[in-house]
């Protein structure tokens, strides 16, 4: 069952989402070569607590940290470590969630550290754009698979691949609620969207094959062929007036706007 949220519940999720937007701004300015992935995690955890929220991932099914940090061929769920350093030219996936008065928000972005080759920047741009297109489908009376199809059609038109092992999700009083939101599918299928639904949409895109495997740590998902992967995510409320991106201070997809090429 897809739980509809009241205006009060969405307001709490907006507060959680705007805290995450602040974390994203902070990380864009602070992540640099030589830092460890644990340095990032500790900074974000302290920030979230200072803002009066709680980290959403720490302890979730045993995940040990606040941020999932997934570098290069790592797709999602990388575990922060003092031994894993950021290098110039890496692309760093940062996935974070927080909880305000029992309500969750979830977002992710992939950050290039210094200059990256044009084809790598293209991977990041196309993944971001696919999220933005999916967000535009979050309107009453669209179908759930219209969201999925918006991601798939844009990504595949640019020759990249969609990871299938992980999907987006409803979100609210739990981090993962119904429905599951695949990043692929034919349009016009599945439940009709309604005002009050809140969806975490999260395309995961690779430069090579879509297949992934899990490392021995039990968490980190990497591309099976070692190709680079990108991940972007927003928490989005369906409203009568269209989508509201709860993980952006403007309500719009701020992750997409600055680098958007239309």
The CB-of-16 to Mg ion minimum distance in angstroms stands at 13
Binding-site member from 73, 74, 106, 129 for Mg ion (CB under 5 A): 106
The CB-of-131 to Mg ion minimum distance in angstroms stands at 12
What are the structure tokens assigned to 156, written together?
């595949």
The CB-of-108 to Mg ion minimum distance in angstroms stands at 7
Strand partners, 68: 95
The CB-of-97 to Mg ion minimum distance in angstroms stands at 7
Tell me whether residue 14 or residue 120 sits nearer to Mg ion (CB atom). Answer: 14
Residue with tokens 């798939």: 152
CA distance 118 to 109: 18
Residues that contact Mg ion, how many (by CB under 5 A): 3
Tell me whether residue 12 or residue 200 sits nearer to Mg ion (CB atom). Answer: 200
The answer to whether 203 and 151 have CB atoms below 8 angstroms apart is yes
Tell me whether residue 106 or residue 146 sits nearer to Mg ion (CB atom). Answer: 106
The CB-of-12 to Mg ion minimum distance in angstroms stands at 18
Contact map string, positions 29 to 48, toward Mg ion, x by CB under 5 A: --------------------
CA distance 258 to 262: 11
Q: Order of strands across the sheet with 161-162?
A: 161-162, 204-206, 229-231
Assess 244 for contact with Mg ion (CB under 5 A): no
Indicate the DSSP class of residue 126.
H
CA distance 86 to 252: 30
Question: Segment contacting Mg ion (CB under 5 A): 69-77, 103-111, 149-157, 218-226?
Answer: 103-111
The CB-of-48 to Mg ion minimum distance in angstroms stands at 16
| CA nearest to 228, candidates 90, 111, 69, 73 | 73
CA distance 67 to 37: 9
CA distance 73 to 90: 10
Render 139-171 in DSSP notation, one character per residue.
STT-BHHHHHHHHHHHHHHTT-EE--S--EEE-
Tell me whether residue 181 or residue 222 sits nearer to Mg ion (CB atom). Answer: 181
Tell me whether residue 43 or residue 202 sits nearer to Mg ion (CB atom). Answer: 202
CA distance 61 to 131: 26
Tell me whether residue 92 or residue 120 sits nearer to Mg ion (CB atom). Answer: 92
The CB-of-218 to Mg ion minimum distance in angstroms stands at 18
Indicate the DSSP class of residue 117.
-
Contact map string, positions 189 to 208, toward Mg ion, x by CB under 5 A: -----------x-x------
Q: Which residues bind Mg ion (CB under 5 A)?
A: 106, 200, 202
């Amino acid at each position: 069952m897809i739980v509809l949220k009241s205006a009060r519940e969405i307001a709490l999720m907006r507060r959680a989402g705007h805290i995450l937007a602040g974390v994203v701004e902070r990380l864009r300015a602070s992540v640099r070569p030589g830092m460890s992935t644990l340095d990032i995690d500790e900074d974000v955890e302290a920030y979230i607590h200072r803002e009066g929220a709680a980290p959403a991932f720490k302890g979730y099914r045993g995940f040990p940290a606040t941020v999932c940090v997934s570098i290069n061929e790592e797709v999602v769920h990388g575990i922060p470590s003092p031994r894993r350093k950021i290098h110039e030219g890496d692309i760093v996936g940062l996935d974070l969630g927080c909880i305000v008065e029992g309500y969750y928000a979830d977002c992710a972005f992939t950050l290039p550290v210094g200059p990256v080759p044009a084809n790598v920047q293209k991977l990041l741009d196309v993944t971001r754009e696919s999220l933005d297109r999916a967000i535009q489908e979050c309107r009453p009376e669209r179908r759930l698979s219209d969201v999925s199809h918006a991601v798939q059609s844009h990504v595949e038109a640019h020759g990249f691949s969609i990871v299938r092992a992980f999907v987006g999700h409803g979100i609210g009083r739990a981090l993962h609620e119904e429905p599951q939101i695949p990043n692929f599918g034919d349009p016009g299928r599945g439940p009709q969207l309604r005002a009050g639904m809140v969806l975490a949409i999260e395309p995961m895109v690779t430069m090579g094959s879509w297949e992934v495997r899990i490392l021995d740590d039990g968490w980190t998902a990497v591309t099976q062929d070692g190709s680079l992967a990108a991940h972007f995510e927003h928490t989005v409320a369906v409203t009568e007036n269209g989508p509201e991106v709860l993980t952006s201070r403007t309500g719009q997809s701020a992750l997409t706007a600055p680098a958007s090429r239309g």
